[in-house]
């Protein structure tokens, strides 16, 4: 713990904006509990739909994961979407007074969750179409517990069929203790979007 800055330690012990938001406009998840670190981000927008009014998070992981998620919510509150989209992991790390390099992935997770949340918000507002590329973007932040790679890189994800508000997602995953977690994480990735998701395991 002595390798962490005072800012990291403070936000770990007294995190800001922590907890689920019941009236969130959009949520996003990055990481996996099975792989060690995970963040769930909640965003509420103002009446124009273009400015982040409130941001909270839930974190499952180490001190750096909690601190980076907390700092990221502080950086994006009252920011326009365009401003929030420009925030990268380096800005989060610098705002914390630095992080051990081995913990930079925590800041990356926080920023990934933000980018997914903003994309989901654009889908909800009809500014972006739901196509297979978007399905991949949503699943790219979910880690395969077997390999600790994302579902696309690990080739768990096979393809998607989209018809209206119905999406069939085909995966190839072992029939083991992680299968239900993978399915649950996929469903959570689409939380808040008006789509009927069916997951088909072809393995």
**pLDDT tens-digit readout, 69-113:** 999 999 999 999 999 999 999 999 999 999 988 899 889 999 999
pLDDT digit string (tens) for 110-151? 999 999 999 999 999 999 999 999 999 899 888 898 888 899
Beta strands (DSSP E) in the chain are 26-31, 38-45, 52-60, 157-163, 166-171, 196-201
Residue 18 near residue 56, CB atoms below 8 Å? yes
Q: What is the pTM of this model?
A: 0.87
According to DSSP H, which parts of 63-103 are helical? Answer: 63-76, 81-85, 89-95
Concatenating the DSSP letter of every residue in 135-153 gives HHHHHTTBBPTTTSSBTTT
What is the distance between the alpha carbons of residues 39 and 109, in angstroms, rounded to a whole number?
Answer: 7
Q: How far apart are the C-alpha atoms of 73 and 69, rounded to whole Å?
A: 6
Residues 137, 134: Cα–Cα separation, whole Å: 5
Spatial contact of 76 and 52, defined as CB atoms under 8 Å apart: yes
Is residue 34 scored above 60 in pLDDT?
A: no
> 132-201: which CATH number, 3.30.300.130, 3.90.1170.50, 3.90.226.10, 3.30.1330.20?
3.30.300.130
8 Å CB contact between 145 and 34 = yes
Q: Give the pLDDT confidence score for residue 50 in this predicted structure.
A: 95
Mean pLDDT of the chain: 92
CA pair distance 1, 13, nearest whole angstrom = 12
pLDDT of 2 above 70: no
Instruction: Give catalytic residues, as residue numbers.
Output: 35, 106
Return the biggest CA–CA distance within the chain: 53
- Measured distance CA(90)–CA(98) in Å, rounded: 9
> At residue 97, what are phi and psi to the nearest 5 degrees?
80, 20
CATH architecture designation of domain 6-124: Alpha-Beta Complex (3.90)
Q: Where in the chain is the domain with CATH 3.90.1010.10?
A: 6-124
CATH 3.30.300.130 in the chain, residues? 132-201
Q: Percentage of the chain with pLDDT > 90?
A: 79
């Amino acid at each position: 713990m002595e390798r962490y800055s005072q800012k990291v330690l403070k936000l770990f012990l007294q995190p800001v904006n922590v907890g689920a938001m019941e009236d969130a406009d959009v949520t996003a998840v990055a990481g996996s509990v099975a792989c060690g670190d995970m963040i769930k981000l909640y965003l509420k927008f103002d009446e124009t739909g273009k400015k982040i009014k409130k941001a909270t998070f839930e974190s499952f992981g180490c001190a750096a994961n909690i601190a980076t998620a907390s700092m990221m919510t502080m950086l994006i509150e009252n920011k326009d979407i365009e401003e929030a989209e420009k925030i990268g992991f380096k800005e989060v790390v610098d705002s914390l007074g630095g992080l051990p390099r081995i913990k930079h992935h925590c800041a990356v997770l926080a920023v990934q969750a933000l980018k997914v949340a903003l994309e989901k918000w654009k889908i909800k507002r009809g500014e972006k179409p739901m196509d297979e590329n978007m399905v991949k973007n949503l699943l790219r932040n979910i880690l395969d517990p077997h390999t600790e790679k994302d579902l696309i890189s690990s080739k768990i994800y096979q393809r998607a069929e989209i018809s209206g508000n119905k999406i069939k997602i085909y995966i190839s995953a072992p029939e083991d203790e992680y299968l239900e977690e993978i399915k649950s994480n996929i469903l959570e990735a689409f939380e808040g979007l008006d789509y009927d998701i069916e997951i088909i395991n072809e393995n």
